[in-house]
Amino acid sequence: MQAQAATLDVEHLMKVFDRQVVVRDVSFSLQGGELLTLLGPSGSGKTTTMRMIAGFEEPTGGDVRVAGESIVDLPVHKRDIGVVFQQYALFPHLSVFRNLAYPLEMRGLRKAEIANRVERALAMVRLEGFAGRLPKELSGGQQQRVALARAIVFEPRLLLMDEPMGALDKRLRELMQIEIRQLQQQLGITTVSVTHDQIEALVMSDLIAVLDGGVLQQLGPPLEVYQKPVNRFVADFLGESNLIDVAACQPRTEGLLCRSSRGLETLAAPLRPGEEAASWLVVRPENIQIGDAAAELPNHCRAGIREVLYVGDLLKYRVETETGEQFSIKALASAGQPWRVGDTSLIGWRTEHCLPIRS
């Protein structure tokens, strides 16, 4: 089984329901074989975006191109897109074999070819020998794998998955994330996936598109979106962050010198090209050092330890600076003697780990 690695271009996509804009000017492009995750809270427009790509919903504006050609005027069954949507469940009264054969019968394939393709698709999701079962005779994870096999059995140009693991428990979900990602890469199929789970987005994607209120907040590779959030929403939604408000700032050669309303001074990374001011500085908890070595860093101050939590291999501290700023800090538990509540220590961070962002 080999995918055709089509490019996907979503251009200025827009959807209005009852005069409410639920998807506003969303654009992104995928190279053949890439996986993009739409990440956002409930109601942010993820499913509506997917339904417009799949053809279940007509866009109010914008275009969707596969391999360069617009598909918005094509009916669902002519779009050549495999979907794993929650409301697109397996046929309960049909065997696994018949569920997988269905899209192939629709396309008029011969019996022998159908049997051959169903067998290969089941092998890809490691369900050889389950062809005769009914969906209810399978576990949740197995049903999800059948749904995936059904979505790829006709070798579509595009795969769409809307919260494919939403119904599974955490452990199974983590296994499936890796399994689906491997299969997607092995097939080389261009894929758009939806989740509200930030870890899932970070683990699975070539690109993450963060949506809020129908607006694309940021688009980029996982590490970039995590390390360089452009605004407060993205910084808060993807990972944990410490936010420092900016009362004043001045560009200096060594960085952006900022002061918070409480009077904490810190050197931050320069503003992005085109940005004129920052509302906040964001520092990830793992980028704050604690202990005497922090004296070496361009930004450091004294802080009191207010809370210590062991989280397996991590130690989480909540600290308060002399100016009254509260920070959360993550350190490896193996990094030595932990600090205790009531202790005072130096804390510090690098200029490049302190990013100016919009509100």
8 A C-beta contact, residue 276 and residue 263: no
Residues 6+ apart with CB under 8 A from 74: 55
Spatial strand order of the sheet with 69-70 comes to 69-70, 61-66, 8-17, 20-30, 215-220, 207-212, 35-39, 190-195, 158-162, 81-84
- CB 346, min distance to ligand ADP, A: 43
- CB 234, min distance to ligand ADP, A: 16
User: Rounded distance, CA 260 to CA 299, Å?
Assistant: 14
Tell me which DSSP letter residue 136 carries.
Answer: G
Does 193 help bind Mg ion (rule: CB under 5 A)? Answer: no
Query: In the set 33, 40, 156, 239, which binds ligand ADP (CB under 6 A)?
Result: 40
Nearer to Mg ion, 3 or 13 (CB): 13
321 binds, among Mg ion, ligand ADP, none (CB under 5 to 8 A by kind): none
Does 47 help bind ligand ADP (rule: CB under 6 A)? Answer: yes
Number of Cβ within 10 Å of residue 139's Cβ equals: 10
- CB 18, min distance to ligand ADP, A: 6
Give helix 170-187 / helix 140-152 axis angle, nearest 10°.
20
Nearer to ligand ADP, 16 or 257 (CB): 16
User: Rounded distance, CA 210 to CA 69, Å?
Assistant: 25
Contact code string over 12-51 relative to Mg ion, x by CB under 5 A: ----------------------------------xx----
Contact code string over 10-29 relative to ligand ADP, x by CB under 6 A: -------xx---x-------
- CB 44, min distance to Mg ion, A: 8
Nearer to Mg ion, 47 or 217 (CB): 47
Nearer to ligand ADP, 85 or 339 (CB): 85
**Interface residues for ligand ADP in 209-268 (CB under 6 A)?**
none
Query: In the set 6, 10, 13, 48, which binds ligand ADP (CB under 6 A)?
Result: 48
Q: Which amino acid is at 83?
A: V
Nearest to 181 by CA among 157, 154, 161, 210: 161
The Cβ-side half-sphere exposure at 350, using a 13 Å CA radius, reads 5
Does 351 help bind Mg ion (rule: CB under 5 A)? Answer: no
Does 184 help bind ligand ADP (rule: CB under 6 A)? Answer: no
User: Rounded distance, CA 93 to CA 91, Å?
Assistant: 6
Does 43 help bind ligand ADP (rule: CB under 6 A)? Answer: yes
213 binds, among Mg ion, ligand ADP, none (CB under 5 to 8 A by kind): none
Does 190 help bind Mg ion (rule: CB under 5 A)? Answer: no
Nearer to ligand ADP, 40 or 220 (CB): 40
264 binds, among Mg ion, ligand ADP, none (CB under 5 to 8 A by kind): none
Does 46 help bind ligand ADP (rule: CB under 6 A)? Answer: yes
Name the 3-class secondary structure at 203.
Answer: helix
8 A C-beta contact, residue 276 and residue 358: no
8 A C-beta contact, residue 355 and residue 282: yes
* Cα 185 to Cα 61, 103, 205, 289, distances in angstroms: 32, 22, 11, 37
Q: How many residues bind Mg ion (CB under 5 A)?
A: 2
User: Rounded distance, CA 57 to CA 94, Å?
Assistant: 27
Q: Where on the chain is the footprint of ligand ADP (CB under 6 A)?
A: 17-18, 22, 40, 42-48
Site residues (CB under 5 A) for Mg ion?
A: 46-47
